[in-house]
Structure 1
Amino acid sequence: MASKQSTVASFIESAPPGELSNVLADVKSLVPKEIQSLGSAFKKYNEAQYAIVKLKSGEASLITPYNSISEDKYYDTAHSISFRVDHTSQSASDEEQHTIESPHAGTIRSLHKSFAAASAEHFPSSTIGIFPSDNSIAILLVANKYSPQNFWNGRWRSTYHLNLSSNSVTGSIKVDVHYYEDGNVRMTTSKKVELSSSGADAVVREIAKAENKYQEELNRAFTTLAEGSFKGLRRQLPVTRQRVEWEKIGGYRLGQDIGGGRSK
């Protein structure tokens, strides 16, 4: 049987987009003594979900495995700084200058410029990160859209690895959407991507094409589900073939008004 700590940690690590604070509030109310021992669960969640922190400048930066320096310290190549992170509150502090020690610094700067322009064009709001990784460069993007007043939240995450020897790009796109009005529905989907291109601008163009294609595939799939499988799950009309006027439901006489027969 799983321990209480591992069970609570699993809740945190599987929190839907934009709802970590809600999960944290539930954990605090149910098992307040466990919070202090769940630092690794918050760190795992933040790095896996590419959590966003605000810097002193007001700019955003990512928490990922690719820009980790130590347990709670990360760096940002766009602003040449390092910072510490409180994984529970997702807040940054102790910012310091941090120079990229990579022979590919020029390529990273070029990718930043091109990828920032492309992400601004295709996403209402997004945060990117470009980091050296062995003999490759990690190109990351996260775009969040939260609409709690409409009972849904969503996250788009892209991860690409540009191999500098072969000029090939491999990666994945992940989409996570949670809808929770009068129910609890969550969709998680992903797609692997393989590209071949050279030069920062060309790489970014190919990434944009791949992401546009995947979005179109998702749109077609949703249309098919709505008109096919989902539509077959329930009747559009009750067996009487008449719509129920819900505002009058309190005054209906079951047999006559709804069923069409005479009430007893």
Structure 2
Amino acid sequence: MSRTEALSSFIESAPPGELNDVTKAIKNILGEDSVQSELEPAFQKHNEEQFSLVKLPGSNDSVIVSSYNSLGERRYYDTENNSSFAYDHASLGEEASDVRSYTLESNHEDLVKGLLKTLRSHGTEHYPEYNIGVYPTNDDSQIALLTVASKYSPANYWNGRWRSSYLYTPSSSTLTGTISVDVHYYEDGNVRLLTTKKVNAKVGGGSSADVVKAIAQAERAYQEDLNKAFGGLAEGAFKSLRRQLPITRQKIEWEKISGYRLGQDIGGGRR
């Protein structure tokens, strides 16, 4: 594996909200300013797969960057704002540039508009902070529906992201997709949860409400499965590995270990 391939793998697998930290660590190790331009394909892959968000100039609105709304040559479009924009992945910035008016050309234009409205209502109901995107595929046979919801708390050593992507086929009223959850906890350790769920559903009707209803059912079921799994881990596997607290029911302050009787015994101190 070449150096570029090795570094690209770090970039592409960076945890939610930690791409800049990973890049900074790479540059500190290598001492090179050329890292970002050399690894631009990896930055682009990371951003598109993670549904990274960028702001349009002069606006507080964030829009999604993904392969579904790519126009090529670092340009993307947004159906809600009827605009296209450029984004330099290697800059690691949060703002787009060269915004232009964009007219959607699709036989499903009305359905796209309806899906934007109903998917946004779904997001508002279920996610504290979220962004959505609805885009027809290149051959106009399907419609992609994306949702990304991130929560970052670096001060408490954790970050997380929910991503869901679906392809709705109007001709057959079928919905396929993937729900992905990525959570990284790194206080005094390094624990990461990566889980995905495949979705295959038959939509009851052809309206935007029917499509989003199928999405809501799939996501609700997956959330319930996750809650059950986490409860089982806390009460089962994790509990069998070690006590949650010592017998004293108090946490040990390891930096003060010498002050405990056990620490004195280990250190050969006074008994």
TM-score (norm 2): 0.89
Identity of aligned residues (%): 50
How far the C-alpha of 1:36 sits from its partner, in A, is 2.0
Deviations 1:160-208 (A, max 9, x none): 1110101111111000000000000001000011122221011111211
- Looking at structure 1, the residues matched to 258 and 250 of structure 2 have their Cα atoms a distance apart, in angstroms, of 12
Structure 2 unaligned blocks of 5 or more: none
Aligned to 1:5: 4
Aligned to 2:201: 195
Aligned to 1:86: 88
In structure 2, do the counterparts of structure 1 residues 245 and 195 end up closer, same or farther at CA, with 3 Å as the change threshold?
closer
- Looking at structure 1, the residues matched to 51 and 133 of structure 2 have their Cα atoms a distance apart, in angstroms, of 10
Aligned to 2:17: 18
- Looking at structure 1, the residues matched to 77 and 264 of structure 2 have their Cα atoms a distance apart, in angstroms, of 71
SS at match of 2:6: helix
In structure 2, do the counterparts of structure 1 residues 255 and 67 end up closer, same or farther at CA, with 3 Å as the change threshold?
closer
Could you tell me whether the CA contact under 8 Å between 1:68 and 1:74 is conserved in 2?
yes
In structure 2, do the counterparts of structure 1 residues 255 and 34 end up closer, same or farther at CA, with 3 Å as the change threshold?
closer
- Looking at structure 1, the residues matched to 52 and 264 of structure 2 have their Cα atoms a distance apart, in angstroms, of 57
Deviations 1:6-49 (A, max 9, x none): 11111100100000010111122122133321110100100010
**2:68 is the counterpart of 1:62:** no
Aligned to 1:118: 122
Identify which of 212, 217, 220 aligns with 2:228: 220
How far the C-alpha of 1:245 sits from its partner, in A, is 6.7
- Looking at structure 1, the residues matched to 119 and 244 of structure 2 have their Cα atoms a distance apart, in angstroms, of 45
How far the C-alpha of 1:59 sits from its partner, in A, is 1.1
SS at match of 1:218: helix
**2:146 is the counterpart of 1:140:** yes
Aligned to 1:77: 79
Aligned to 1:131: 135
User: Which amino acid is the alignment partner of residue 222 of structure 2?
Assistant: Y
In structure 2, do the counterparts of structure 1 residues 98 and 245 end up closer, same or farther at CA, with 3 Å as the change threshold?
closer
TM-score (norm 1): 0.92
SS at match of 1:103: coil
- Looking at structure 1, the residues matched to 263 and 216 of structure 2 have their Cα atoms a distance apart, in angstroms, of 59
**What RMSD in Å do the two structures reach over aligned CA positions?**
1.9
Aligned to 2:168: 162
**2:186 is the counterpart of 1:186:** no
Could you tell me whether the CA contact under 8 Å between 1:77 and 1:130 is conserved in 2?
yes
Aligned to 1:100: 104
**Residues paired across the two proteins, number:** 257
Structure 1 unaligned blocks of 5 or more: none
Aligned to 1:40: 41
